[in-house]
Structure 1
Amino acid sequence: MKYFFLSYIFVGAIIVSAFGFRGSKSELPPIEVFPDMDHQAKVKYQASSEFFADGRGARLPVKGTVPMGFEIPSKPAVDGAKPARVAFTSGLDYYNTGKIGDFYGDGLPSEITGDPTVFNDAFLKRGEQRFNIHCAICHGASGNGKGVTSKYGILTAFNFQQAGNLDPANAAAYRADGAIFDVITNGKGLMGSYGGNITLRDRWAIVAYIRSLQLAAKESGVTLPLQ
């Protein structure tokens, strides 16, 4: 019986030492079981740093790099190039959301198709590149939903090559361009949001490339490129 009481007292002492008495205060730092990245090895804005000779924490960008989200102009400013626009979602129009009112739109927005310096072969090549970087791992190189992750139990990636996917009348398989854009932006199901990783123009480039994969499969009878 004495061992029971000793164990009881021991457990009570552990609880009190870990959590303290209700309402008690301490100058010691709290015990963090899950720190949730509260303490990161980084220099905050306007803070000094002894690591650099000048003592400044804020540094100029590395030479030759481009800030994330900055769109490089297609031509120099002296030749009439417009200032680079915000490359991430910044409005409620079709170009920014993929929606027209409460409904998904279809077709590429005029901000893409109306600019010959944007809507060209390089635009589709860009879509292919971005798709292979961000999407092919789950959706497959041909968009058939059988990417690398399908070999490890993730079998819910959308199959853009299923029958009727290019036919708007087939509601079960068809996804409007705006709907695809919205999922890239906000995620759906197991797919997380890529709105903070992929710029607006690149999202639309991916949509255009997905359509090219579907058209190639429809015309040739196979899902290209082959897995």
Structure 2
Amino acid sequence: MKYFFLSYLFVGAIIVSAFGFRGSKSELPPIEILPDMDHQAKVKYQAASEFFADGRGARLPVKGTLPMGFEIPAKPAAKGVKPARVAFTSGLGYYDTGKVGDFYGDGLPAEITGDKSVFNAEFIKRGEQRYNINCAICHGTSGNGKGVTSKYGILTAFNFQQPGNLDPANAAAYRADGAIFDVITNGKGLMGGYGGNITLRDRWAIVAYIRSLQLAAKESGVTLPLQ
């Protein structure tokens, strides 16, 4: 065993003598075993690029791009529409957190129900669109938890259509509106948070759409639409 350690020290001494101690000065480029993404295939700022016809590496944003945190106004400012507020979580109230104090609230916040121009069929339609983009892949188009990912071993997506899901007395199945909003915002279990991807109003629109799916299934006795 002692010869093993002696050999180990001997090999270490050879390496140090050949390459020098860490931090020693040299005009030779370093040997990068783990480059840690120091060199990337990218165009740096204000650099030229022959890939584009105008020779510029820097590109303008895609048409329609908006700064993070703002929404496209429903109507032009000429019609008296107020500038869009910051659309992501910026407060401690029910509208921003889904909570009233330390408890989850139920029902849509006044910021939604009080805006008659938003809280209508178009609001539910918006929720359907956002749900299908962000949620249906795991929770299924009907909210039954059998989305595309369930076919690949991810079987933990919450089933919004399980019996008693609309009954607050059924604690095992029921999720308050604020609780659903909070999970969309912060994530839970294998689900990551979407607070930085989905605006406040769109999160509440998704909550409203989930409720409409549950009500439709309850009234018809069938989970619709079928996955």
TM-score computed with the length of structure 1 as normaliser: 0.82
Counterpart position of 1:190: 190
SS state at 2:84 partner: coil
Counterpart check, 1:154 vs 2:157:
no
Question: What pairs up with 1:89-104 in 2 under 5 angstroms?
Answer: 89-104=89-104
Counterpart position of 2:47: 49
- 8 A contact 2:89–2:96 mirrored in 1: yes
* Structure 1 position 31, deviation (Å): 3.7
Which segments of 5 or more consecutive residues in structure 2 lack a partner in the other structure? none
For 2:145 and 2:43, how far apart are their aligned partners in 1? 41
* Structure 1 position 180, deviation (Å): 0.4
Which one is further off, 82-91 or 25-34?
25-34
Which one is further off, 25-34 or 180-189?
25-34
SS state at 2:192 partner: coil
* Structure 1 position 153, deviation (Å): 1.1
Counterpart position of 2:76: 76
SS state at 1:61 partner: coil
- 8 A contact 2:43–2:57 mirrored in 1: no
For 2:214 and 2:187, how far apart are their aligned partners in 1? 21
SS state at 1:150 partner: helix
Tell me how large the CA RMSD over aligned residues is.
Answer: 3.2
Counterpart position of 1:25: 23
User: Which residue identity lines up with residue 121 of structure 1 in the other structure?
Assistant: A
- 8 A contact 1:138–1:147 mirrored in 2: yes
Matched-pair identity in %: 82
Counterpart position of 1:135: 135
- 8 A contact 1:74–1:117 mirrored in 2: no
For 2:222 and 2:91, how far apart are their aligned partners in 1? 39
For 2:147 and 2:18, how far apart are their aligned partners in 1? 47
For 2:18 and 2:109, how far apart are their aligned partners in 1? 59
Which segments of 5 or more consecutive residues in structure 1 lack a partner in the other structure? none
TM-score computed with the length of structure 2 as normaliser: 0.82
Shift in alpha-carbon separation, 1:61–1:170, aligned structure 2, 3 A: same
Number of residue pairs the alignment of both structures matches: 220
